[in-house]
Structure 1
């Protein structure tokens, strides 16, 4: 167990916000978590799990004990006539895990290419892109109980996946909720990759790529490359421009609400969901309110994709979490006043 004090976190969050952890433990094996819980001082401290820092906004120094997830390793756990079960350590970079599975001939995760963050954060957020969500490829996970130190496993039904949601984002039953927020740390994630693979090409960007290329039956590797091209064209590289990816969830509305908005805004981007509701493109709503390219202090709206908020500061004079949240609240107000829709942020605010 490696314990560090007064650790700078600017390089540990993709927004590049300057902050420090009072105490940080590098978790490189499940035993490190159990060692924390066996330490009389550390065990009593509130805890904050940090993966790749791609989905957080730091509004100040972090006083809870930071558990920095660094468990690595990827392996084929099992192969059957129907597919493969692949396991990855929670500290692996998500995109690297996607590329690794494809390199071994196990398709299924290609639509989720280039999503920032670590494998362990993927089930928490139920990450998704271009018609695929993690829950569609999820098998199970392993975690450690932060109260008892016991290890346990959860399958998909026990994770209670929803749109950018899971059991890990809700309070415990003792606190009036039903979830595992603050009660567990994920150490390994397993994926079910079917041998009956079919390309997922339902999104307009991928259809355009297919038309441009003339490839009617793309391979998983081809889709992976298309997704990377689309994301790089639309989204800033966090290594160059600090950001937390898509800042707001795409809102869902009833058919009646959607028709009302279409009557006023015929060009609104919308998609029908299996349950009959409609998903609206949050980026389009924000753009329609005139926010693209605007700034509040050192926090800005990306000029190529209004769904992304960016750091317009420098490493020496970075954006603050307060500036980011001030901009986010101003955007929420604008969208609500024009469309009657409340946008919900994706990142965790610390």
Structure 2
């Protein structure tokens, strides 16, 4: 049975901002071979452009999409190797990220529990080097397989080749738009090394009288924290954190601490630089709860920009630019967007 290529499809159900833009052509794929066959047999559709869609959770669409939109629905989770200390798990690029994390937690394999409830798919996770609560993808990453869109060869990438950075990877820079990630392999520990020092994890565990937490306790605490802080895209369109937490020189950090007593900051590992929470900077600049039309800043978390229903992508971009300008004027810090704007 051939692939079902649909025309003039609204992408509103496929992006967490709930933005109503049209795709000229839309198709779901279930394997690397599906993509290879599609490219070989429908070359003409690719000439006006190609856009690969995962969970649509880190995406701001500002216009209709020409060419072809491919929804990665490559599924499957498989244990590929095991030792006394570790287990290697491979997951399809279309697997829902939180479902994969819960699978590892249920099986008592440690390493990803701090990344619970992050929206999106397994295939998108290494592109963004997703991270939360002191953990990043790169900490457990082993390798990934990706189809080279031009040559249609399947290539394997190790951690070094992925060039992971803070919410960055090779697939957002030099390799941008050149690969479809089909599966990702993670190396997980059989014996947990619990990480609870970041955010409010310890506080939540203390409230539950858990003094010796297991990975499922950490995962559950993080799920509760995220639900309390971040709006559910089913209720209100958003893509979680819109901006990266900025890193500045020690010199500027010292100046800011002098001018703004109580400003929260974090040391950057292996550097004298200092990281500041973008949400705090935005809130102090007066944006928390701001709304213009249907584009706004969330009332509980200033780091989250929202679509109250009928906002256009361009309106959310304009709002983000105003926020950047405001934070720059007040703190001398240039915010960078975490969300991919298209």
Q: Establish whether residue 285 from structure 1 lines up as the match of residue 281 from structure 2.
A: yes
The C-alpha deviation readout for 1:200-243, integer Å capped at 9, x for no partner, is 11213112123323322210000000000000000001111110
Which residue of 290, 302, 322 corresponds with 1:306?
A: 302
The alignment of Structure 1 onto Structure 2 pairs a total of residues equal to 338
SS of alignment partner, residue 323 of structure 1: helix
2:244 alignment counterpart: 249
Q: Establish whether residue 57 from structure 1 lines up as the match of residue 60 from structure 2.
A: yes
Superposition deviation, residue 148 in structure 1: 1.0
Q: Equivalents in 2 of 1:204, 1:149: separation in Å?
A: 43
Q: Equivalents in 1 of 2:152, 2:170: separation in Å?
A: 19
RMSD (CA atoms): 1.1
Q: Equivalents in 2 of 1:61, 1:25: separation in Å?
A: 16
Range with greater deviation from structure 2 (124-133 or 256-265): 256-265
2:27 alignment counterpart: 25
2:172 alignment counterpart: 169
Q: Establish whether residue 216 from structure 1 lines up as the match of residue 216 from structure 2.
A: no
TM-score (norm 2): 0.96
The C-alpha deviation readout for 1:44-65, integer Å capped at 9, x for no partner, is 3421111010011111111131
Superposition deviation, residue 157 in structure 1: 0.6
Q: Equivalents in 2 of 1:71, 1:324: separation in Å?
A: 31
TM-score (norm 1): 0.94
2:260 alignment counterpart: 265
Q: Establish whether residue 332 from structure 1 lines up as the match of residue 324 from structure 2.
A: yes
* Conservation of the 8 A alpha-carbon contact between 1:296 and 1:326: no
* Conservation of the 8 A alpha-carbon contact between 2:47 and 2:67: no
2:291 alignment counterpart: 295
Superposition deviation, residue 3 in structure 1: 1.3
Superposition deviation, residue 42 in structure 1: 3.0
Superposition deviation, residue 43 in structure 1: 4.4
* Conservation of the 8 A alpha-carbon contact between 1:141 and 1:188: yes
SS of alignment partner, residue 85 of structure 1: strand
Unaligned runs of 5+ in 2: none
Q: Equivalents in 2 of 1:64, 1:13: separation in Å?
A: 18
1:180 alignment counterpart: 175
1:176 alignment counterpart: none
Q: Equivalents in 1 of 2:180, 2:48: separation in Å?
A: 15
Q: Equivalents in 2 of 1:255, 1:277: separation in Å?
A: 5
* Conservation of the 8 A alpha-carbon contact between 2:288 and 2:299: yes
Correspondence 1:39-188 to 2 at 5 A: 39=41, 40-170=43-173, 179-188=174-183
Q: Establish whether residue 343 from structure 1 lines up as the match of residue 326 from structure 2.
A: no
Q: Establish whether residue 235 from structure 1 lines up as the match of residue 230 from structure 2.
A: yes
The C-alpha deviation readout for 1:91-131, integer Å capped at 9, x for no partner, is 11100100011112212111000000111100000000000
Superposition deviation, residue 2 in structure 1: 2.5
* Conservation of the 8 A alpha-carbon contact between 1:36 and 1:42: no
The C-alpha deviation readout for 1:147-191, integer Å capped at 9, x for no partner, is 011101101111000000000001xxxxxxxx2111111011111
